[in-house]
Amino acid sequence: MSDTATIYSDVPDNDTMGGRMLRARDAAGLSLAELGRRLGVQPSTVQAWENDRSQPRANRLSMLAGVLDVSLSWLLHGVGSGPTDESRAELYKSVSLQLERLRRLQSESAKVAAKIERDMQRLTSSA
């Protein structure tokens, strides 16, 4: 769907440009450092854009929209093609899998710690 098909009929996203950038970066699964590297700027510069302390120049805005897979009009004005729900669904699935792995690792770590404690008690009691 083209931007002009939705630009007048969609309800605009009333977030700030920095807020839209942050949400699009999250949906794309990019870190500040990775996005900065792709755009050729420091991560602190990207963070300043996301915090609305500064704004990217026109050439960076165009690159930013491409990297984040959003339309330039959405990024600037909150109308047009924003982050897709598929990206969020993929991110949710990825985070869920990571959380599940972390819980397994935590459980395994607790078991290893308990075994170490038992072994240390045996060592101190035999000495």
Q: Are 78 and 16 in contact (CB under 8 A)?
A: no
Question: Are 22 and 70 members of one domain?
Answer: yes
Question: Are 92 and 61 members of one domain?
Answer: no
Question: Are 118 and 76 members of one domain?
Answer: no
Residue with tokens 């300043």: 48
Confidence grade of residue 78 (pLDDT, cut at 50, 70, 90): confident
Q: Are 87 and 27 in contact (CB under 8 A)?
A: yes
Q: Is the pLDDT of residue 43 over 60?
A: yes
Distance CA 21, CA 61 (A): 10
Q: Give me the chain's average pLDDT, please.
A: 85
Average pLDDT over residues 54-79: 90
CATH number of 28's domain: 1.10.260.40
Pick the more confident residue, 78 or 101: 101
Question: Are 63 and 9 members of one domain?
Answer: yes
Structural domain tally of the chain?
A: 2
Question: Are 29 and 57 members of one domain?
Answer: yes
Question: Are 19 and 60 members of one domain?
Answer: yes
Question: What is the phi-psi region of residue 80: left when phi exceeds 0, alpha when psi lies from -120 to 50, beta otherwise?
Answer: left
Q: Are 79 and 6 in contact (CB under 8 A)?
A: yes
Range of the domain at 120: 88-127
Question: Are 79 and 92 members of one domain?
Answer: no
Question: Are 76 and 100 members of one domain?
Answer: no
Question: Are 70 and 30 members of one domain?
Answer: yes
Q: Give 17-84 as a 3 state SS string.
A: HHHHHHHHHHHHCCCHHHHHHHHCCCHHHHHHHHCCCCCCCHHHHHHHHHHHCCCHHHHHHCCCCCCC
Average pLDDT over residues 67-93: 79
Question: Are 117 and 75 members of one domain?
Answer: no
